[in-house]
Amino acid sequence: MIPTFKYHPNPIETGAFIKGDAQECNCCGKQTDIWYESPFYSREEVDCLCPECIASGLAAEKFNGEFQDSYSVDEVSDPAKLEELTRRTPGYHGWQQEYWVAHCDDYCAFIGYVGWDDLVKMGIDKQIEESYGSNINGWDIETLKQDMSNNGGIQGYLFKCLHCGEYRLHIDCD
């Protein structure tokens, strides 16, 4: 069992954590068979972090690091939410600088890496289209329908609002 991360609820499925042979957490020194495999912005060399040291904030404190760049996020009025996101939440891998989306004045939960076909399979493409119209963060929706694919040149990052339940997208390209 790993701790609950409200802004990244399925971090094993998204690959933010990897399971394998036990190794030593650089932060607490305990053996862990689940360790962090996504960005950690710190000046120090950190190879292995256990989920508990991320959830408690100990890793961010000890190595003076962030899991998400605090300048590459939407604005939210409560600074405690930004702190939870950047210092106690596992991040994700983007082609470019990772960007964290907010809605209803709070950060959204990161759901995973998607192409347009994934949105169709999940039955949420219409909701996305209704929310954004023909232009999603500067991308033409027809282009995305054709060319946004998981691990393709145009990559979608799917988020879900914790309050109204709406799905939101961040998009970048390689």
Residue ranges in contact with Zn ion by CB under 5 A? 25, 27-28, 50, 53, 103-104, 161, 163-164, 166
What is the nearest approach in angstroms of Zn ion to the Cβ of residue 53? Answer: 3
- One DSSP character per residue, 55-82 reads HTSHHHHHTT-BSS-TTSB---S-HHHH
- Nearest alpha-carbon partner for 87 in 59, 48, 109: 59
Phi, psi of 94 (to 5 degrees): -110, 165
Nearer to Zn ion, 6 or 145 (CB): 6
What is the nearest approach in angstroms of Zn ion to the Cβ of residue 143? Answer: 25
Cα separation, 132 vs 148, whole angstroms:
16
Nearer to Zn ion, 21 or 142 (CB): 21
Nearer to Zn ion, 14 or 26 (CB): 26
Specify the 3-state DSSP secondary structure of 51. Answer: helix
Cβ burial, residue 135 (10 Å; 0-12/13-18/19+): exposed
Nearer to Zn ion, 74 or 166 (CB): 166
What is the nearest approach in angstroms of Zn ion to the Cβ of residue 173? Answer: 26
What is the nearest approach in angstroms of Zn ion to the Cβ of residue 135? Answer: 19
